[in-house]
Chain A
C-alpha cells in the first residue's frame, strides 16, 4: 500500500522560506509512472495545486506561485520536497503531497498524504 507523509516546521515567519518533505513508502519516486505533487488548502477554503516534480527532476508549477516555488526529489531517501520562498500569511494552509498517474493528463491524484498545517506568523 502506497503511503505519503509530509513533514516540516508547522510555523514559519513572514518573508522566510517554507520547507516541506514528503516521504513515500510502498512505492518509488524513481518510477516514471507518476508525478509527485504538492497541493495546499488554506483553513476553511478550497484546494490549490502548487506543482509537481517528475523522477527525472523536471518540474511544473502553478503560474501564480512559480516564482517562489522550488521542488526537488531525493531518490536515495525516496522523498521529494517543496520550498516556498517569501511567505506571507496568505500561505498559511494545510499542505498535502500527492501522487498523480503520468499515463493520463487527468488530474487523478490517487494517493495523498494526511496533510500538514503550516502557519505563517511572527
Chain B
C-alpha cells in the first residue's frame, strides 16, 4: 500500500521561508494527484490552505503557496509568522474516489 510521506517536524525563524513536502513511498507526486494542504492548530478542525496543487482557498494569505517540486508536492510559507506554528497535512487523490492524507508536519516557529 502506498504511503503519503511528510517531514515529521520542521522549524523556521520568524520572517523566514519554509518549504514542506508531500511525497509517496513509491512513485512521484504530480498534479494528477491534485494535492491539497491543510493547517491544524491544537483542538481545532483542519483548515484548507491549498487545493489542486496551487489554488489558495478563500481567505488564505498569499504567503502560502503550493507547487510540485521534483517528485513531491510542496507547500511554501514566506514571511513566516508566529501564528503559522501548526500541524500541516497534505492530502492526495489516489484515484477511484480515494483520498489519502500524509502523516503531517509539525512546524515550529522560533
| One of B48, B53, B100 near A49 (C-beta < 8 A) | B100
| A112-B46 contact in complex given A106-B93, A107-B36, A107-B92, C-beta closer than 8 Å | yes
- Chain B residues with CB under 8 A of A113: 45
Q: Nearest Cβ in chain A — how far from B60, in angstroms?
A: 12
- A105 near B34 (CB under 8 angstroms)? yes
Most buried by A among B46, B93, B96, B102: B46
B91 is an interface residue with CB less than 8 A from chain A: yes
**6 A–B contacts from the bound complex (CB under 8 Å):** A60-B97, A60-B98, A96-B46, A107-B34, A107-B92, A109-B91
- Asked whether B14 is an interface residue with its Cβ less than 8 Å from the other chain, the reply is no
Residue on B with the closest CB to A58? Answer: B97
A96 touches B36 (CB 8 A): no
In the complex, which range does the number of interface residues on chain B fall in? 20 to 34
Q: List the A side residues contacting B52 at CB < 8 Å.
A: 104, 106, 108
A11-59: which have CB < 8 Å to B? 39, 46-49, 52
Is A106 within 8 A of B36, CB to CB?
yes
CB distance from A106 to the nearest CB of B (A): 4
Q: How far is the CA of A105 from the CA of B93 in the complex (A)?
A: 7
- Alpha-carbon distance A39/B89, docked complex (angstroms): 13
Q: Which residue of B lies closest to A112 (CB)?
A: B45
Interface assignment of A62: CB less than 8 Å from any CB of chain B: yes
Q: A46-B103, A46-B104, A49-B99 are in contact. Are A108 and B51 (CB under 8 A)?
A: yes
Binary contact readout B10-47 vs A (1 if CB under 8 angstroms, 0 otherwise): 00000000000000000000000011101000000111
